[in-house]
Structure 1
């Protein structure tokens, strides 16, 4: 079992990573005056998909 597999099965770690990702997105938008908001949002969505945290999927047990 690899580190990403363990991450995907750990709900607490996913919640913490999501909070950190949201904070980073907010800070980036703040620093750029929302000029690159769509690009930052797209990058965040891709990160969530790769880490198995995409919002469209139901919660895993």
Structure 2
């Protein structure tokens, strides 16, 4: 099975379950998990690049808007 076959199967599965996936991404559970994950990644990034804290917070907030329900 080649890469194109795997990508094709992934696309087909996504299309078949698109509504369920979108509902899951916008759920309360996804919001809780994404907040914890994004906070951890942002905190780590601030330790590595403390001068970029504002930009890191902006990126974190933009990503958070795309996942969950808040």
TM-score (norm. length: structure 1): 0.70
Q: Which entry has the higher C-alpha Rg, 1 or 2?
A: 2
Unaligned ranges ≥5, structure 2: 1-18
Residue ranges of structure 1 left out of the alignment (5+ in a row): 55-61
Q: Which residue number in structure 1 is paired with residue 31 of structure 2?
A: 14
Q: Distance in 2 between matches of 1:16 and 1:47?
A: 13
**Does structure 2 retain, via aligned residues, the 8 Å contact 1:4–1:51?**
no
